[in-house]
Every structure is written in structure tokens, then in C-alpha cells.
Amino acid sequence: MKALLSIKPEYVRQILAGTKKYEYRRIIFARQDVSSIVIYSTLPDGLVVAEVEVRNILKGSKSKIWNETKGFSGISRAELFDYFDNKDEVYAIELGKVTPYLEPKSLKEFNPSIKAAPQSFIYI
């Protein structure tokens, strides 16, 4: 199973460059069989740009997740704590092999049944 995730362009660039190996989420997939993520780079890009393997999903407190992922977080500790404000349990998706698309596509080109970019993610 794949999930389409909306990710800000600055983080997409880091994922493609291999410097960001964790994607942080307040909520996570209900399905256990998500093996890859299709990356939608949000506006101003507005394009589906790559697919990335899901290696693992970490769950824990903000401090625990920060300590386990800070080397390849792509963000500062303050940004992580701000993002997870008022959350006791948080998630980090450990990213594996990244496969950039040779030609990025709009959502409509990628999958005509997707009418709008997901707030967080959708299964595809």
C-alpha cells in the first residue's frame, strides 16, 4: 500500500538530497501495510515529485523522537517541539530509498481521482 503525503518544498528538497531521513507526523497511518510514500510537494511547487520507501515508524514522546532522529531531522529541536505542541505521543517515519520522478506531475496528471492535495495524507 502507498500513501500520498503533502510535504513542504523545503523538506522535499532535503529528502531528495538525502539529508532528511525522517518525516514527522501528528497522526499516522491506521493501516499497517504502508510500504512507500508518494511525495506531493506543496505550493508553490504543487507537484508529485518522488516515491520513498517506509523503513520504520517511530512512536514516542517529543524528547524520545528528537533524540532518536535529530541527526537526520531536517529541522531544529525548537521546530519539532513547536510542530508537536500539545501532543504527548508523536510519530517519525523513517525514510528509505528515494526514487525521484523523472517528470514531476500535477495531482490531476498523477491520479485524476485525487481532487485536492491531502491535508496530511491519503491512501492510494
Q: Per-residue pLDDT tens for 9-46? A: 999 999 999 999 999 999 999 988 999 999 999 999 99
Place of cell 531536517: 74
Domain count, the chain: 1
7-10 contacts at long range (C-beta below 8 A, 24 or more positions apart): 7/39, 7/40, 7/41, 7/42, 8/41, 8/42, 9/41, 9/42, 9/44, 9/45
User: What's the whole-model pTM score?
Assistant: 0.94
DSSP classification of residue 85: T
| Cα 61 to Cα 4: distance, rounded to the nearest angstrom | 25
Cis geometry, peptide bond prior to residue 104 (ω within 30 degrees of 0): no
Question: What pLDDT is attached to residue 87?
Answer: 93
Burial category of 85 from C-beta neighbours within 10 Å (exposed 0-12, middle 13-18, buried 19 and up): exposed
Domain range for 50 is 2-123
- pLDDT tens digits for 75-89? 999 999 999 999 999
Whichever domain contains 21, its CATH number is 2.30.130.30
- The pLDDT, as a whole number, for residue 67 is 97
- Mean pLDDT (the chain) is 96
Give the lowest-confidence range in 38-47, 91-100, 111-120.
111-120
What is the average per-residue pLDDT within 107-113?
95
Neighbours of 36 (CB within 10 A): 17
